[in-house]
Amino acid sequence: MHTSKRHLAGVAAVAVAMASVGALALPWSADKGASAPHWAYSGEAGPAHWAALDPSYSACGIGLAQSPIDLESHDAKPGKAGAFRIDYEKGDVALVNNGHTVQANVTDPNDAVVYDGDTYHLAQFHFHSPSEHTTDKTRFPLEIHFVNQDGAKHILVVGVMVKLGEENPSLAPVFHSLPPAAGHASASAGPPVSVDLASVLPKNHEAYVYRGSLTTPPCTEGVRWIVLAHPIQMSQAQVASFSTLFPDNHRPLQNVNGREIDDDPD
Ligand SMILES: [Zn+2]
C-alpha cells in the first residue's frame, strides 16, 4: 500500500501547526447564543471573509491544515482491521435547522468510531449541498458529515458522499422531516426521528484519512477526517428537499499544503 505526499508549499510550517493541535471545543454547542458572529456562504460574510469577521475565526484565513480539500482516488485506503471501525446503529435523532444546515443531534451513546484505539462518540450529523470535498476534482450533489468526539474533545468527522440514484430508504425519515427554517427545531417542536445509521453508510469503508479542520467558522484545526470513498445514493427528490432549503452551503476547496492522505495514526 503506497503513501502519497503532495507537496505544495509551507511544509515546515504545516509540521509546526499540526504539532500544536490540542483539545477542541465543540463550536456548535457553544455557538447558540446571539453573541456568535454572523457568517454566511456568500457575500460580505462569505468564506473569503470569515477570518475577518471575528478574531476567533482567524484559522479560517491563516490555517495551513484546512478542510475541505480535493481527494485523489489513488489515495483511498481500505478500512483495514485496526485502522478504524465505524459502529453506528438504529436510534432517534432530533433535527435542527440552524441557518447553516440541517443538523441531526444524536443521543445514542453506542454510536461510535474507533480510530487508533480511541473511541469517538457520534454527536450529530448534517448536510452540505453541494459536497465540500471533491474526488479527482469531481463534486457530488450532497455530502453528509458525521461528527464524533472522544473523551478529550478531539473531533473525528466521517464524510459520506451522495450521488443521484435510487431513493434512500434509510434516510427517508430524515428527509421527510427537514425543518424548513432556522429555529424550527423538531428537538422541541416535533417528535424525534428514528434512523438506522448502520444502513446509511456504504458497505465498503475504503476511505481517505487526513488531518484537517472544521469547514465552518471557527475553522478549528486538529480534526481527523475519514472521508468514505464509496458514495451512497439518494433520489433527485431527496437531494432537492435539502438543496431547496440550502442551495449552496459548501466551503470552497482549501490548499493541501503537503498533508498526507493516509490511515497511519501520527
Ligand atoms: Zn459539515
Active-site residue, 100 included? yes
- Output the CA 126–ligand 1 centroid distance in Å: 6
Amino acid at 80: K
- Output the CA 31–ligand 1 centroid distance in Å: 15
- Given 2, 49, 100, 250, which residue is catalytic? 100
d(CA 251, CA 67): 8
Residue 112: pLDDT above 90?
yes
- Output the CA 264–ligand 1 centroid distance in Å: 23
- Output the CA 122–ligand 1 centroid distance in Å: 14
Output the pLDDT for position 14. Answer: 37
Residue 187: pLDDT above 60?
no
Segment among 150-164, 201-215, 233-247, 252-266 with least mean pLDDT: 252-266
**Residue closest to 196 by CA, chosen among 90, 87, 88, 86:** 90
151-184 pLDDT tens trace: 999 999 999 999 999 999 999 999 998 988 765 5
Cα 228 to chain centroid distance, Å, stands at: 11
CATH topology of domain 40-243: Carbonic Anhydrase II (3.10.200)
Output the pLDDT for position 184. Answer: 54
Cis amide prior to 191 (ω within 30 degrees): no
- Output the CA 221–ligand 1 centroid distance in Å: 14
d(CA 153, CA 149): 5
Considering the chain, what is the average pLDDT of its residues? 85
Residue 31: pLDDT above 70?
no
- Output the CA 222–ligand 1 centroid distance in Å: 15
| Local confidence band at 26 (pLDDT 50, 70, 90 cut-offs) | low
Highest mean pLDDT (candidates 15-24, 128-137, 174-183): 128-137
| Local confidence band at 262 (pLDDT 50, 70, 90 cut-offs) | confident
- Output the CA 145–ligand 1 centroid distance in Å: 5
d(CA 136, CA 139): 9
Name the DSSP class of 152: T
Residue 27: pLDDT above 80?
no
d(CA 2, CA 163): 28
CA atoms within 13 A on the CB side of 169: 1
Element (H, E) at 243: helix 236-243
Mean pLDDT of 121-143: 97
Q: Between 180 and 212, whose confidence is greater?
A: 212
- Output the CA 237–ligand 1 centroid distance in Å: 21
Residue 4: pLDDT above 70?
no
Output the pLDDT for position 182. Answer: 65
Segment among 27-41, 146-160, 248-262 with least mean pLDDT: 27-41
Segment among 114-118, 188-192, 201-205 with least mean pLDDT: 188-192
Highest mean pLDDT (candidates 132-141, 171-180, 182-191): 132-141
List Cα–Cα distances, 115 to 90, 97, 158, 188, in angstroms: 21, 30, 11, 33
Residue 2: pLDDT above 80?
no
